[in-house]
Each structure stands twice: as C-alpha cells, then as structure tokens.
Amino acid sequence: MLGTTTSRLAELDEDALLDLLARVRRLRDKYVMLYRRQGSATVKKAKARAATTNANTGTAIKAEVFEDALGRISRRLASAARQEAARLRSERLAAARAVRTTGKAAKPKAPSSVAAGGSAARTTTTRAKRPPIQTKIAASTKAGGKRSQAKRDSR
C-alpha cells in the first residue's frame, strides 16, 4: 500500500511526503474514474442502474483504500509542515536575539528585484503599505486600460 503506515510516514521529510501525496492522489483519481466508467458501461448494457451496484465493487474498494491513504498522508504532511514552520520560526527568533545582544545585524539578502535591476526600497515599501484592495483596484484599472488600448489597436 505504498508504505502509508505511521512508522513509514514518520521517516519521510516534507518533500518526500508531497511526492507520495501526488502519487496516491493520481492512483485514487485513476480508480475513481475507472469505477465511474465501469458503472456507466454497466448501466448502458443492463439498461438499469440497480444492476450495477455489485458490478465493480473491487474497483470501489481500491479507490477507498487510496482515499484512506491520502488522508493519512495529508495529516502527516500537515504535521511535518507545522514542525518545519516552528523550526524556522525558532531560527529567526534566535537570529533576532543574537542581533539584539551583539548589536551587529547580519547583512540582509537583497530582494530579487534588486538582482533584476529594480529598486529594493520602492518594491518593499510600496507593497508593504498597500492594502490588498488597493492592489486589486490598481490591477483592475491597469487591465481596463490595456483592454481599451487593445480595442483601439484592433480597429
């Protein structure tokens, strides 16, 4: 069953859990689709829905097994993500405490916009101060302008 026991899942890191989750989801989807297709074909052949109830129980059981495995993996992935977040948070707090006690701040990483030639101060301060609704309004206005320009250009 792809090793979804609690002990096996505990051995996996977050990335491995994500890969396993994707594999199990694909298999679950495969058997769910197969179950539906087989049921549909049986209904067409028997011309009655009642005749299809026991026709493909094996496929339904397989889909259910993968659904259970998916739940176990999802719970373990959520737990691993919480642990990783707590670890990162404690690292950040430790670094902040170290800066406070020594008085020397570590050189911060430059934002990706600086590497691309943009202004770091403008990028970080503008986005930090702008509420989400203003971002949406600005994007909507910009899109509307582009639509109007495209309409004019198409004439």
Stated pTM of the model: 0.55
State the pLDDT at residue 134.
Answer: 84
**Out of 24-28, 50-54, 60-64, 122-126, which region has the weakest mean confidence (pLDDT)?**
122-126
Question: No. of H helices and E strands in the chain?
Answer: 6, 0
The domain spans of the chain are: 1-108, 110-155
Does residue 19 contact residue 4 with C-beta atoms inside 8 Å? no
| Distance, CA of 12 to CA of 18 (rounded, Å) | 10
Q: List pLDDT tens digits, range 94-146.
A: 988 888 887 666 565 655 555 555 544 444 444 467 777 888 888 899 999 99
State the pLDDT at residue 127.
Answer: 47
Q: List pLDDT tens digits, range 80-96.
A: 999 999 999 999 999 88
| Distance, CA of 149 to CA of 155 (rounded, Å) | 10
